Amino acid sequence: MKIDFHSHVIPPSFVAAVEKGPARLKARIVGSGSDRMVVHDQGYAYPLFPEFVSVDAKIAAMDRKGIDISVISPAPPTFTYWAERDLTVEVTRLVNDGVAEMVSARPERLRGMGILPMQHPDAAVAELERIVETHGFRAVEIGTSIEGVKLTDERFTPVLRRAAELGVFILAHPYYIGNKAGLEDYYLTNLIGNPLETTLMVADLMFSGTLDRLPDLKIGLAHGGGVAPYQIGRLVHGHKVRSETRAKTATSPLDLLRRFYFDSVVFEPQALAYLARLVGAERVFLGTDAPFDMGDEDPLKTLADAPGLTGTERAQIAGQTSLQLLGEAE
């Protein structure tokens, strides 16, 4: 079984809402047909590929890549963390119900992942409970920070705790809309900025003691965990020699790193092999980041080319980890 746990959609209902009220949603649809694009007021623009909005196009892409099941999640620009309560609740429900509708069209090939109105934690808990009960979702996608506020802020603890209680998997994904200082050129906002956002979140969850306080939290990292797995030795060393890093946790950063799950979107097979050896193949799941151009178009080849992995480890990454996270493992 080959399962893609990092695959994006933009429900048609959300696109229609943007077309109807661009000022309200701070985005607009430009162009027509195959040339349509989504343009956000903050400056981020991207093509509205058919695979975002069409179940048939998503399935065709899966077939081309050899994927049996995709866990579809809303593209991060559908987060409305900037919005006031009523609007973000309305849009979040619209998006989640749209994902559920897409899943219902091909339930044998698709699973759903929701989003939450994180800036209003009580509403986020309510929406989490709703999509679990109503749609049977076993995963949610949230930003690595919420409009600049760290996930370790105490206001978000009830959301993280409720997800842990419900056994819901969290995919933490960088929330990238506009340019960031120092990263404006060469698309570095994504190439470096997104992995950096994930790494900052990982270090903060580690050193703040949040992971110690929430031992049942299941949280996954997009893009292979950013830089964290490849500089974990530096964090471990810092934890030994710097008192600041030990102020709130005595747990080794390496042990805490192995609390996370990681997608396979690293592109370099040797990096994927290293990641699996470092954290265990049972903590790594297949991902594509489709249909963004920064996605892995041939994830099974990346996995096949990863040196030194056993057949059991490859099967774990290809699908077993995802089945376990979905509660569907035999």
Kindly state the average pLDDT of the residues 218-230.
97
Nearest Cα neighbor of 61 from 245, 295, 282, 257 is 295
- Position 280 pLDDT exceeds 90: yes
- Position 234 pLDDT exceeds 80: yes
Asked if residues 100 and 14 have their Cβ atoms less than 8 Å apart, the reply is no
* pLDDT, mean over the chain: 96
What pLDDT digit, counting tens, does each position of 128-157 carry?
A: 999 999 999 999 999 999 998 999 999 999
Sign of the alpha-carbon dihedral angle for 152, 154, 159, 163? positive
What pLDDT digit, counting tens, does each position of 298-325 carry?
A: 999 999 999 999 999 999 999 999 999 9
Q: What is the pLDDT of residue 178?
A: 61
Q: What is the pLDDT of residue 61?
A: 98
Neighbours of 122 (CB within 10 A): 12
Q: Which two tokens stand for residue 195?
A: 């992995």
pLDDT cut 70: percent of the chain above it: 99
Q: What is the pLDDT of residue 44?
A: 82
- At residue 129, the 3 state secondary structure works out as helix
> 177 pLDDT band (50/70/90 cuts)?
low
For 94, the enclosing helix (H) or strand (E) is: helix 85-105
Whether pTM exceeds 0.75 = yes
> 179 pLDDT band (50/70/90 cuts)?
low
> 211 pLDDT band (50/70/90 cuts)?
very high
Kindly state the average pLDDT of the residues 68-91.
96
pLDDT cut 90: percent of the chain above it: 91
Kindly state the average pLDDT of the residues 266-282.
98
Kindly state the average pLDDT of the residues 215-242.
97
Nearest Cα neighbor of 213 from 261, 152, 272 is 152
- Position 43 pLDDT exceeds 80: no
List all residues 6 or more positions away from 264 whose beta carbon is below 8 Å from its beta carbon: 224, 272, 284, 285, 286, 287, 296, 299, 302, 303, 317
